[in-house]
Chain A
């Protein structure tokens, strides 16, 4: 074996050894990364949930409604629940607001006498129509779809509203 073949053989063996490691690593990485990135790969479907009877809420009233998110995992327990504020504008017109403050997602509470939504975290406040009244929120409360189904009020489940840099 001359010097040159020895070097070639060395390079070849180096490459094949590295490749021998890299191939199974790459193969195994696929299911691991799909577990890590799963939430981006699977789209969750949303669903309609009954949250109240028409008679439960008077015109002009704003009420807390709670519901179960679409398609929760069996071990989600109480974390599958979500809340929203339902407001009856008129006889046949409802609006629902996500309970998440548009600033950093904290839960806003409705102060009925003051007719304001107030956030406990950084002092954000919203009027009854969801528009910003005070504090740091960059945009109004997020609306959730509502519909009347015979005598039921139903809302469409929705993702946690995420405020982006461009809002």
Chain B
């Protein structure tokens, strides 16, 4: 033991580790910085988890357009604990995004972005952008059918950038089309470029925490005055500050630990997202869906009026990030307490409600045709009514069923037709079918008179 201590002392003397770490550990923090302050460190712990599990996955992954899918199958089904490792990386990404969101919301609600911490907020917005980029490129690296189509969808969105859209889209795919060059690029971004930038900005973000100190819990009526704040903060810390380690750090450690354990438990229970078909862009029978954290954008694009959509795709993100970057310049002094800034709570609640609603709606994806429903099994027609019977078959064949439900079978794009005969008479039905409607194809060109009569006879039985 004595020998061990001696070695420890020698290492410390020659390296200066305690000199380096002691000021970091002992730096005073404002009293009362409690559970609301754990989300930033939890994000960092998730990031470290992602780096570690990412290195693990990279040991097994083949970043090559033709082999990546096979290596994913290998990781998922053959490699020892590969399934769990992928699961942790997936839920780790989810955890990081959730924690980033909570951290940001706490900062906004308590106005911690005000003087002198404007730069913390700005670097935080950059980190948010990088985190989303990591989530997106990570989904592509799965390189199954969903991965390649997600790349195409992203290229289309970038295509909406005025003037240079086509070039940026081409840059994303690495050429005119998907191919050998595509995955190498996504791999380089996801594994080298973005993580390196995250390290740089996390370093900067943490340096700012040391330089400006963590924001004290706000108090109604205690205003921020840039002229006196630094001096006041300094005095407050001298009088009431507590050493970061362990009086504030224990909460970070505990919450971070619970977060990581929860991620591992979820990974073991649910596993990683299932692999779909091979990354062959000629397989057109695919149903591309983003991972849950991007599902709200997917929902937004389905619900938005088509006329404004191309503009929204470009100006929307631009406006959001402009406002985020502008926030500390719009107001950097005065009141910090959420009680005196009720709009911050209303605004945050609004964003949370909108995103959760869009996630729920996106998960249902009622705007997508129900291609899997091929026939009406619960609908019974009297056998003597041959006209209506053939109409029912047509209803299935002419893709009506993909968009309209009868007795809970079929799509939800158009109105439910279970009781359509109570709403529309024969003439009205014919007009709709032949001419279509705002969001329904006109079938006049593809139905014979006879077929139309059969279809209407069937719909007339729906009372």
How many interface residues does B have (CB within 8 Å)? Answer: 72
Closest residue on chain B to residue A135 by CB atoms: B439
Which chain A residues lie closer than 8 Å to B166 at the CB level?
A: 162, 164
Q: How far is the CB of A125 from chain B (nearest CB, A)?
A: 5
Residue B367 interfacial (CB < 8 Å): yes
Q: A77-B66, A164-B159, A167-B310 are in contact. Are A82 and B367 (CB under 8 A)?
A: no
Could you say which of A69, A123, A136, A164 contacts B177, with CB atoms under 8 Å apart? Answer: A69
Could you say which of A39, A78, A107, A133 contacts B442, with CB atoms under 8 Å apart? Answer: A133
- Which A59-109 residues have C-beta < 8 A from chain B? 64, 66-67, 69-70, 72-83, 99-100, 103-109
Residue A114 interfacial (CB < 8 Å): yes
CA distance A120 to B162 in the complex (A): 27
Q: Do residues A113 and B66 form an inter-chain contact, with CB atoms below 8 A?
A: no
Q: How far is the CB of B430 from chain A (nearest CB, A)?
A: 17
The total of Cβ contacts below 8 Å across the A-B interface reads: 210
Q: Do residues B369 and A123 form an inter-chain contact, with CB atoms below 8 A?
A: yes
Residue B167 interfacial (CB < 8 Å): yes
CA distance A128 to B444 in the complex (A): 13
Q: Do residues A165 and B66 form an inter-chain contact, with CB atoms below 8 A?
A: no
Q: Do residues A164 and B160 form an inter-chain contact, with CB atoms below 8 A?
A: yes
Q: A163-B160, A163-B310 are in contact. Are A77 and B67 (CB under 8 A)?
A: yes
Q: Do residues B179 and A72 form an inter-chain contact, with CB atoms below 8 A?
A: yes
Q: A80-B179, A116-B441, A162-B165 are in contact. Are A104 and B173 (CB under 8 A)?
A: no
Residue A48 interfacial (CB < 8 Å): no
CA distance A103 to B302 in the complex (A): 10
Q: How far is the CB of B141 from chain A (nearest CB, A)?
A: 13
Q: Do residues A100 and B287 form an inter-chain contact, with CB atoms below 8 A?
A: no
Could you say which of B182, B367, B413 contacts A79, with CB atoms under 8 Å apart? Answer: B182
Q: A83-B282, A99-B284, A105-B153 are in contact. Are A73 and B402 (CB under 8 A)?
A: no
Which chain B residues lie closer than 8 Å to A58 at the CB level?
A: none
Residue A34 interfacial (CB < 8 Å): no
Residue A40 interfacial (CB < 8 Å): yes
Q: Do residues B288 and A106 form an inter-chain contact, with CB atoms below 8 A?
A: yes
Ranked nearest first, the 9 interchain pairs of A and B with the lowest CB-CB distance are A77-B66, A73-B180, A133-B441, A159-B176, A76-B180, A114-B399, A162-B159, A107-B284, A66-B282
In the complex, besides A78-B280, A107-B285, A160-B152, 18 extra interface pairs with C-beta distance below 8 angstroms are A39-B173, A40-B167, A75-B64, A76-B66, A77-B64, A77-B67, A78-B278, A78-B279, A79-B178, A79-B183, A82-B177, A109-B371, A111-B402, A118-B402, A128-B446, A159-B177, A163-B160, A164-B159
